[in-house]
């Protein structure tokens, strides 16, 4: 037993426990990374068990667990969810690599077997990464990435000295896995924060462990570096992951402070800020601003008939339709329940605001599918225009709410705002 490896084993085990606890928090998606770190624990366990490096089974476990961990880091870098397509991509990468490493551990001859697997990596595996990661990229980007991956495969073949040591090929596989993880994590986040930079730097350092070790063995054989020092990049990566998670949590908290959690639309606080800014711009430029107060009709019936989960989905779909209809310069917010509001900047009078209201109502003409039923949405919309109906935010909101109340009374009598788009007697849902 190599007891010098025990501190690393215990430290990484503690990290796995930390990541497992973070999985319980909403919005955390660490499953792939958690499995990867669990495999690193297995790796250290095998290293600790095989102090001499002569135990074939322990060497196989330590090598295969490290390779699988690197592949899982790649998967985690390109996908936040575990999907069937991602699993197929993972298997297409893992099977030839694991076979290559297993042959090297067992010192299988002839060397043509290694060459065949390396060629499989060049022809099948690396282009699969390209297809998996940037399937939606532009053709030029796809071509450049494919060429880069093929050059990497050729580099692996050059490094593998088939007449001497096939383990050089395994080391190069480990190296490009973690260097690839650095590239993909940077591509995923694309922000120069402390967490992301630490994470990317940690993966780069981890990937360079093998080429640096080989270079020192060849050019500075008398230089001794403690085995524990080579494990520092692993902890740098762990620190980077934790910092990145904290940054994501802070960003999410900031977003939720200003946005509705269900629909992602601005909430009341951000709406009031946008309205104040819109009115200030309108005063300076002498333009008009419309405020549309929107209330969904018969939403309670949807909740009662299909349940609150379906009601939440109903509100999300309505919010998406409203958001697609307004301009980028406008604001659509959810104030709570089934209450929405739209700020339309730079309109040309009440008629322009009414056209927008008709368009918003018309987006609800298509049914919403909930639990094998077609649910129809309908809305009452009250309109107020600055400065005609109010010269400040409070007066404008009061005018819009009053107009909404009048419209709801008309709608109860069947006199809808958009009679051609929303039939007054249409049922709330249709099977």
Does residue 1 contact residue 53 with C-beta atoms inside 8 Å?
Answer: no
Cα–Cα distance, 390 to 381 (Å, whole number): 17
Angle at 207 between CA 206 and CA 208, to 5 degrees: 90
259 DSSP β-pair partners: 266
Q: 231: helix, coil or strand?
A: helix
Distances (CA, A) of 407 to 64, 361, 414, 418: 68, 13, 10, 11
Given 209, 237, 258, the domain boundary residue is 258
Give pTM, 2 decimals: 0.72
Question: Domain for residue 237, yes or no?
Answer: yes
**Alpha helix positions (H), 106-193:** 112-120, 126-133, 139-159, 167-189
CATH number at residue 324: 3.30.70.270
Question: Domain for residue 134, yes or no?
Answer: yes
Q: How many residues does the structure list for the chain?
A: 431
Question: Domain for residue 263, yes or no?
Answer: no
Note down the domain range covering 363: 268-430
Burial 408-418 (b: 16+ CB within 10 A, else e): eeebeeeebbb
Q: 305 and 368: one domain?
A: yes
Q: Which two tokens stand for residue 233?
A: 């990049």
Q: 161 and 20: one domain?
A: yes
Give 240's contacts (C-beta < 8 A, 6+ positions apart). Answer: 195, 196, 197, 198, 199, 200, 201, 202
Does residue 372 contact residue 366 with C-beta atoms inside 8 Å?
Answer: no
Q: Which two tokens stand for residue 159?
A: 């490094």
pLDDT of residue 357: 93
Q: 185 and 254: one domain?
A: yes
Cα–Cα distance, 154 to 128 (Å, whole number): 16
DSSP secondary structure of 268-335: HHHHHHHHHHHHHHHHHHT-EEEEEEEEEETHHHHHHHH-HHHHHHHHHHHHHHHHHHS-TTSEEEEE
Q: 169 and 243: one domain?
A: yes
Q: 283 and 250: one domain?
A: no
Q: 253 and 282: one domain?
A: no
Question: Domain for residue 308, yes or no?
Answer: yes
Q: 50 and 104: one domain?
A: yes
Across the 431 residues of the chain, what is the mean pLDDT of every consecutive 10-residue run? Answer: 77 85 64 89 86 77 91 84 73 78 75 65 53 51 54 53 54 84 88 94 93 83 80 92 88 91 94 95 94 90 87 94 94 94 92 93 89 85 92 94 87 46 34 32
Q: Which two tokens stand for residue 123?
A: 């022809």
Q: 210 and 283: one domain?
A: no
Question: Domain for residue 373, yes or no?
Answer: yes
Q: 246 and 302: one domain?
A: no
Neighbours of 362 (CB within 10 A): 15
Upstream peptide bond of 387 is cis (omega within 30 degrees of 0): yes
Rounding to the nearest 10 degrees, give the CA dihedral for residues 56, 61, 66, 67: 80
Domain count, the chain: 2
Does residue 120 contact residue 156 with C-beta atoms inside 8 Å?
Answer: no
Question: Domain for residue 103, yes or no?
Answer: yes
Cα–Cα distance, 379 to 186 (Å, whole number): 44
Given 208, 231, 258, the domain boundary residue is 258
Upstream peptide bond of 11 is cis (omega within 30 degrees of 0): no
Given 258, 283, 313, the domain boundary residue is 258
Q: Label residue 190 left, alpha or beta by phi (over 0 means left) and psi (-120 to 50 means alpha).
A: left
**HEC secondary structure over 413-424:** CCCCCCCCCCCC
Q: 282 and 341: one domain?
A: yes
Q: 326 and 217: one domain?
A: no
Give 297's contacts (C-beta < 8 A, 6+ positions apart). Answer: 378, 379, 380, 408, 411
Question: Domain for residue 273, yes or no?
Answer: yes
Q: 226 and 279: one domain?
A: no
Question: Domain for residue 147, yes or no?
Answer: yes
């Amino acid at each position: 037993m190599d007891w010098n490896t025990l501190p690393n084993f215990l430290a990484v085990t503690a990290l796995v426990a930390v990541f497992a606890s973070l999985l319980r928090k909403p919005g955390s998606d660490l499953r792939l990374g958690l499995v990867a770190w669990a495999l690193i624990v297995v790796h250290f366990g095998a290293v600790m068990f095989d102090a001499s490096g002569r135990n074939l089974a322990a060497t196989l476990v330590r090598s295969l667990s490290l390779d699988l961990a690197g592949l899982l880091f790649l998967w985690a870098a390109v996908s936040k969810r575990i999907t069937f397509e991602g699993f197929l991509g993972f298997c297409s990468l893992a099977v030839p690599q694991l076979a290559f490493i297993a042959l090297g551990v067992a010192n299988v001859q002839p060397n043509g077997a290694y060459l065949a697997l390396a060629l499989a990596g060049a022809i099948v595996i690396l282009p699969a990464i390209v297809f998996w990661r940037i399937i939606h990229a532009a053709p030029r980007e796809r071509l450049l990435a494919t060429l880069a991956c093929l050059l990497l495969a050729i580099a692996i073949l050059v490094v593998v000295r088939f007449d001497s040591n096939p383990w050089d090929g395994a080391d190069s596989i480990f190296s490009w896995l973690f260097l690839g993880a650095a590239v993909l994590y940077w591509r995923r986040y694309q922000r120069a924060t402390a967490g992301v930079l630490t994470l990317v730097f940690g993966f780069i350092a981890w990937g360079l462990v093998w080429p640096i070790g080989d270079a020192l063995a060849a050019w500075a054989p008398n230089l001794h570096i403690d085995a524990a020092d080579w494990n520092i990049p692993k902890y740098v990566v762990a620190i980077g992951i934790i910092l990145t998670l904290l940054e994501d949590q802070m960003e999410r908290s900031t977003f939720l402070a200003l946005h509705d959690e269900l629909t992602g639309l601005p909430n009341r606080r951000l709406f009031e800020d946008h309205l104040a800014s819109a009115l200030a711009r309108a005063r300076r430029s002498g333009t008009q601003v419309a405020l549309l107060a929107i209330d969904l009709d018969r939403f309670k019936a949807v909740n009662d008939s299909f349940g609150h989960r379906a009601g939440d989905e109903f509100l999300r779909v309505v919010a998406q339709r409203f958001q697609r209809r307004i301009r980028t310069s406008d604001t659509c917010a959810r104030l709570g329940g089934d209450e929405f509001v739209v700020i339309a900047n730079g309109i040309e009078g009440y008629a322009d605001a009414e056209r927008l209201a008709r368009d918003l109502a018309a987006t609800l003409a298509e049914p919403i599918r909930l639990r094998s039923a077609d649910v129809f949405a309908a809305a009452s919309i009250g309109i107020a225009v600055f400065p005609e109906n109010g010269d400040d935010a409070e007066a404008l909101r009061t005018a819009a709410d009053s107009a909404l109340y009048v419209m709801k009374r008309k709608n109860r009598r069947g006199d809808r705002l958009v009679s051609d788009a929303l039939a007054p007697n249409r049922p709330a849902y249709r099977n």
